[in-house]
Amino acid sequence: QVQLVESGGGSVQAGGSLRLSCAASGRTFSTYTMGWFRQAPGKEREFVASISWSGDSTYYVDSVKGRFTISRDNVKNTVYLRMNSLKPEDTAVYYCAAGDQYCSGYGCSLIRYDYWGQGTQVTVSS
């Protein structure tokens, strides 16, 4: 079992940056694929980015490629999402999630994520 706690959200102006963190409990963090998702008001939750257990494979939804970077520290049991050049359309509640299926690339946007954090709000003003 993994418990996830996100932090680092906030309000920024367009063009600004934020770094989200997701701290995980449990000794098996390093065996999980980790993902970031977001849900904007009135919209369905969408996949944002994923990273393999080893950190050597990442995948991003097209709308954030080149602006967001996902990374992980398996010693600190933490996954990060660095968000640069933020846009108003990035405004959403961001969730981290853990899945115990192996995947790579696009496949990581399709696996089942079994554990979820409570979310952190990101608001980008124009």
Q: How many CB atoms lie within 10 A of CB 110?
A: 10
Reported as half-sphere exposure (CB side, CA atoms, 13 A), residue 37 has a value of: 23
- Beta carbons of 45 and 39 less than 8 angstroms apart: yes
Rounded Cα gap, residues 120 and 107, in angstroms: 25
- Sequential pLDDT tens for the chain (126 residues): 889 999 999 999 999 999 999 999 977 888 899 999 999 999 999 999 999 988 889 999 999 999 999 999 999 999 999 999 999 999 999 999 999 988 888 899 999 999 999 999 999 999
